[in-house]
Amino acid sequence: MRSKESLLSALLSYIRDVCMGAWSITESCLTAFPYVFRWGDLRKEVTEGYPDPVSSKTADDLPPRSRGLLFNDIDRCTGCKECQTICPSACIHIEEEPGADISKIWVSIFDIDFSQCIFCGLCVEVCQPASLVHTRQYEGAAYHLTDLVASFGRGQVTEEQRAKWAALRQAIESSEVSST
């Protein structure tokens, strides 16, 4: 049997529990209520329309170090393959051959497979001539997996050109030899 006091205290704690519940529900509701009317700077809606040229962010709003899709300036690229070596996901594929000049290397294929790229930025970091850069473009969706491969190479060399360049190189070499 419960004593009279404990019954009273049980009743009181029961009523307090109910009141506390009612109050906390009300408090939660009131905390969220100002959001309906967007009161204050901290209660603005955060949704940004996309694609929406007026309200949404564009590529220009990205921070300076933002790592977007990669771009290789093939005119500056020396074909050193540093990026291919460091790439953790092996998404850079480079093929090259000697060009018309001894100092020039013809980068025939420079493919970056964005379906494998993890955008870690290591390749950009190691690029000595700074030809490989992150662009500000981030919209890379494509319908086919093959569309995600970006090609920056100069293209395959035909047999005639290869022979011609070999001859040119030989000419330069021989002229160098003769000059020395």
Partner 1 sequence: MNLESFWVVSWVNSIGFLSGLPEWCYAAISLLCIFFFVLIPSLVFIVFFDRKLSADLQARVGPNRAGPAGVLQPIADLLKLLQKDTRSPWGWIESLWISIHSMVLYSSLAVIPLGSLALLLDTEMSAFLPFWSALVLALGTILLGLSQGTVAGWFGGIRVAAQALSGAFPALISLLCTGVRAGGFRWTVLAGSQGFAPWSWTVASNPFQAIAFLVFVMSGLVLLGIAPLEGGQSMSDIHGGVATHLSGRRLVLFRFGRFYGFFCWSVISVVLFLGAWNLPLQFRELLVRAELYPLIGFFELVCLLMKTFCLMMVIVWIARVNPRSRVDQITDFTWKVLSPFSLSALVGAGIWAGWRAFL
Partner 2 sequence: MTIVLKKMNSIDESVENNLTQWEIGPYHSSLPAPIKLSLLMDGEVVSHCSLETGFLHRGLEKVFELHSWRSSIAYVDHLDPEAAVFGELALCLGVEEIAGLAVPSRAQHIRIILAELTRVSSHLIYMVRMARVVGSETIIHYLLRDRERILDLFELLAGARFSLNFLRFGGVCADVTEGFIERVLEVCEVIRIRLKEYNDLFTFNHGFLKRTAFVAPLTSSLIRECGVTGPNARASGFSFDVRKDSPYTGYDQVDFDVPLGRGEGGSLGDVHDRFLIRLREISQSMEILKQLSETVPSGEYINSEVEKGYAIPSGEAYVRVESSRGLLGCHVVSDGSSQPARIQFRTPTVAHLMVIPKLVTGIRIEDLPVLLASLDLGIAEADR
The interface partner of residue 87, options being partner 1, partner 2, none and the CB cut-off 5 to 8 Å by kind, is partner 2
Residue the block writes with tokens 């990669």: 70
Q: Tell me the CA distances in angstroms from 109 to 22, 75, 101, one per residue in order.
A: 70, 13, 18
Question: 95 in helix, strand or coil?
Answer: strand
The interface partner of residue 120, options being partner 2, partner 1, none and the CB cut-off 5 to 8 Å by kind, is partner 2
The interface partner of residue 52, options being partner 2, partner 1, none and the CB cut-off 5 to 8 Å by kind, is none
The interface partner of residue 67, options being partner 1, partner 2, none and the CB cut-off 5 to 8 Å by kind, is partner 2
Q: Which of residues 47-66 bind partner 1 (CB under 8 A)?
A: 47, 49
Q: Which amino acid is at 92?
A: I
Q: Give the nearest distance from C-beta 14 to partner 1 in angstroms.
A: 8
Token pair of 156 as six digits: 């395959």
CA count, 13 A, side-chain hemisphere, 167? 6
Q: Give the nearer residue to partner 1 in terms of CB position, either 23 or 135.
A: 23
Q: Is 39 in the site for partner 1 (CB under 8 A)?
A: no
Spatial distance between the Cα atoms of 57 and 55, rounded to a whole number of angstroms: 7
Q: What residues line the site for partner 1 (CB under 8 A)?
A: 18, 25, 28-29, 31-33, 35-36, 43-47, 49
